[in-house]
Each structure stands twice: as C-alpha cells, then as structure tokens.
Amino acid sequence: PASDPNLVERARKAKEALGERLFVLGHHYQRDEVIQFADVTGDSFKLAQQAAARPEAEFIVFCGVHFMAESADILTGPGQQVILPDLAAGCSMADMATFDQVEECWEALEDAGLADGVIPVTYMNSSADIKAFCGRHGGVVCTSSNAKRALEWAFEQGKQVLFLPDQHLGRNTAVLEMGMSLDDCVLWNPHRPNDMAAVADARMILWKGHCSVHGRFTAESVDDVRERVPGVNVLVHPECRHEVVLKADHVGSTEHIIKTLQAAPAGSSWAIGTELNLVKRLAGMFPDKNVSFLDKTVCYCSTMNRIDLPHLVWALESLVLGETVNRITVEADTAHWARVALDRMLALP
Ligand code: CIZ
Ligand code: SF4
C-alpha cells in the first residue's frame, strides 16, 4: 500500500528543518516507505562507511537493524549521534551468538589446549560485543563480499578458525571458495556439550547460527522455480543453506545481487534468494527483466520491517524538537576492540 501522505509530508518537513545536520541511512532490506527518505542506501558495511564520511552530520538516523547502528556508532566521530527509529529492530542471527556463549566456547577451547591456534572471525552481522571479542583475540570482522580474504588471512595467523555467527556463510565460503570439504567443518552448538575431539580435528569451527530469512530457502525452492520459469537464473545470498547455494547459478552479497541484475540482458529471467523488500524493489527497477522471489513462502525480515514510516517520523520530529530518541552507543572499551577487528578487515589485501 502507498504510504500515508500526511506522514510523508511530516517526514519531508522534518528532514528539511534538520538540513545538513541530518543524514539518513537506508539498508537495502528496508520498506519502500522508509527508503524514499534515505540519503544513501546500501548494505551494512557500506552504510557504516558512508556515515563516517559525513562528519558534519550530527544525527545519523539508521534505518536498518541494531548491530548496523552499533557499527555506525563505532566508525563515526564523537560529535555524531546514531539513532535507530525502533529499538526492537534487532537481528535474530546476531542474537544467536551472545557474549557469554562465545566466552564459554573460548574457555572450552582453552581447556582443550586449542585456543592458541584458533583465530575468531565474525560476520558483520554480530553485536559489537562479539566484534570486540574478535579484536581482543587476534581476529577479524568480515562481510559477505570479503569472507574469503578474511579467512585466508586468518589461516595465515592460526591453524583453525572460529566463524561467528552464521554457519552458512562460513561453510559456503570454506567449501565453495577455498576448496575445503564439509569434513573440515564442525558445528559449535552453544546449547549442548560439544565433541571436543571432532572440534580439534576441524579446520573451521562454525557457530550454530543462521539468518531466519535466508535460512528458509530450500533446495526444493530452486527445483520448483526451474520448473516454473524456463531458463531462469537463480541468484542467492551466501547466508542461504549450502544445498541451496550448490543448486543456484550465482551467489553473492546484496550489492553483488544488485549489480548482477543491472548488468543482466533485457528479457532474462531471475529468481532471487534474498530479503523480499529488496527483491520487490529490484523487480520494479528492472521492468524489462523478469525478476521473481525464489520462494513465495519466505517472508520479509520481521525486524528490518520494524522500521516503518511512523517510527521514522517520530525519530525525525523528536530531533527537530531538540530531543534525541533511541540513540545507540557502544561503550568505549568495546568500541575500541571492535574497531581493532574492523580495521583488520579494512587492511585485508
Ligand atoms: O542479511 C543481512 O542482513 C545482510 C546481508 C546485511 C548486510 O547488509 O550485510
Ligand atoms: Fe538478521 Fe537475517 Fe534480518 Fe539480516 S535478514 S537482519 S541477517 S535476520
């Protein structure tokens, strides 16, 4: 449905009143009603970098989820405030690796005499606490575009990698891009005792986390769409399960998915396995191409969708009135160590 014209007008007015003091970031998975007010759109890493490149902006309104706003706070200057229009916009994947659980895992690795050879690598989609954990233990952050380079770097530093929190990105990168086998990977379950002999034998220790959206696509989704749409190109995100990525024609980050569709010939057919808001927007942007969603039973990311126009208007109008609501701040020591892990990523060859 079209956005409420009254709210659209209020958002427009508030943005105008704040002028250069305000910078609105919109993640690709946000609703259209919110994206229309974004000064820049992108994936989580690009958005954090964009915020840092705008030091004159006092207020960064981050339309995305909590871990992304944390990263923006870490990468921006002390005079900049990061605001998340709805504090309930978390990420179920990031929540699957809590600091206490990861500490417990590390202690078990220490007790088994393994920790010295283990380099922790965390996906961008993790809390600032987990990024800081990696910073403290000689590890690095990665995105879905540089996971391979981050892993190569990590294996130069140590014998094993603890990959957090997305098992699928970890497994897909190790097996499909680095020539490891499934037997080189072991799952770490934070809720059960783990077989330490199997852990000692593995090269990749994969945290048992996943994305509740991308993890829902199945191998049958791919078979079905191939039957329905002759000649279809299946393009999926590496947060999808291994068997889905194996059956797909192309795999890549959200930015990669967008670029691939831009470059695709008119008349070609594409089934996309990523978040639905983005897929719908892409279908609208490229009417000359046949763009469909990989599996009609998969839903929007419910936490991304928490950010809607009423919340955005509320955050913006509060700023106009001189009140900062829903500010996201990362405590100084955590921010320092998270920054260490992020800087190691930025320095990757
Ligand atoms: O699944 C997500 O939330 C992604 C791909 C985020 C991002 O932009 O890295
Ligand atoms: Fe988290 Fe998945 Fe939603 Fe991204 S799409 S914010 S990884 S739950």
Report which of 34, 60, 36, 65 is spatially closest to residue 49, judged by C-alpha positions: 60
Q: Distance (Å, rounded) from C-alpha 173 to C-alpha 311?
A: 37
**φ and ψ of 110, to 5 deg:** -65, -45
CA 254 to ligand 1 center in whole angstroms: 7
Cβ neighbours of 274 (radius 10 Å): 28
Cβ neighbours of 54 (radius 10 Å): 18
pTM: 0.96
Q: What is the residue with the minimal CA distance to atom 3 of ligand 2? A: 301
Topology of domain 5-91+304-331, CATH: Rossmann fold (3.40.50)
User: Which CATH code fits 214-293?
Assistant: 3.40.50.10800
How large is the angle between the packed helices 66-75 and 128-136, nearest 10 degrees?
50
118 within 8 A of 85, measured Cβ to Cβ: no
CA 310 to ligand 2 center in whole angstroms: 22
In terms of C-beta distances under 8 Å and separation of at least 24 residues, what long-range contacts does 103-106 make, across chains too?
103/133, 104/190, 105/162, 105/188, 105/190, 105/207, 106/133, 106/137, 106/162
* pLDDT per residue as tens digits for the range 53-90: 999 999 999 999 999 999 999 999 999 999 999 999 99
Q: Which residues contact 26 (CB under 8 A, 6 or more apart)?
A: 34, 35, 37, 38, 40, 41, 47, 63, 64
Tokens representing 88 are: 């309930």
Q: Distance (Å, rounded) from C-alpha 234 to C-alpha 180?
A: 24
94-210 and 214-293 share one fold: yes
Q: Which residues pair with 60 in a beta bridge?
A: 23, 82
Instruction: Name the CA dihedral angle for 129, 130, 135, 138, rounded to a multiple of 10 degrees.
Output: 150
**Residue 107: in which H helix or E strand, if any?**
helix 99-111
Sign of CA dihedral 251, 254, 259, 263: positive
Q: Which residues line ligand 1 (CB under 6 A)?
A: 43-44, 124-125, 143-144, 211, 239, 254
- Determine the pLDDT at residue 145: 93
Look at the chain and count its residues: 349
CATH 3.40.50.2300 fits 94-210, yes or no: no
Give the atom of ligand 2 at the shortest distance from the alpha carbon of 303: 3
What are the structural domain ranges in the chain? 5-91+304-331, 94-210, 214-293
- Complex-level ipTM: 0.96
Provide the strand spans (E) within the chain: 22-27, 40-42, 59-63, 81-83, 118-123, 140-142, 160-164, 185-188, 204-207, 233-236, 250-251, 269-273, 290-293
Q: Distance (Å, rounded) from C-alpha 242 to C-alpha 236?
A: 11
Known binding-site positions for [4Fe-4S] cluster: 91, 211, 301
- Determine the pLDDT at residue 246: 98
Known binding-site positions: 27, 44, 91, 123-125, 144, 211, 237-239, 254, 301
- Determine the pLDDT at residue 48: 84
Q: Which residues contact 238 (CB under 8 A, 6 or more apart)?
A: 144, 147, 168, 169, 172, 173, 245, 251, 252, 253
Give the atom of ligand 1 at the shortest distance from the alpha carbon of 91: 3
CA 214 to ligand 2 center in whole angstroms: 8
Task: Report the alpha-carbon angle 206-210-214, nearest 5.
Answer: 135
Q: What is the residue with the minimal CA distance to atom 2 of ligand 2? A: 211
- Determine the pLDDT at residue 153: 98
Residue 101 backbone class (left: φ over 0; alpha: ψ -120 to 50; beta: rest): alpha
Q: Each residue's pLDDT tens digit in the chain (349 positions)? A: 578 999 999 999 999 999 999 999 999 999 999 999 999 999 988 998 898 899 999 999 999 999 999 999 999 999 999 999 999 999 999 999 999 999 999 999 999 999 999 999 999 999 999 999 999 999 999 999 999 999 999 999 999 999 999 999 999 999 999 999 999 999 999 999 999 999 999 999 999 999 999 999 999 999 999 999 999 999 999 999 999 999 999 999 999 999 999 999 999 999 999 999 999 999 999 999 999 999 999 889 999 999 999 999 999 999 999 999 999 999 999 999 999 999 999 999 8
Q: Which residues line ligand 2 (CB under 6 A)?
A: 29, 65, 91-93, 125, 211-213, 275, 301, 303-304
Q: Which of 43, 146, 239, 253 gets mutated to test ligand 1 (max ligand atoms within 8 A of its CB)? A: 43
Tokens representing 197 are: 């002999």
- Determine the pLDDT at residue 1: 58
CA 68 to ligand 1 center in whole angstroms: 9
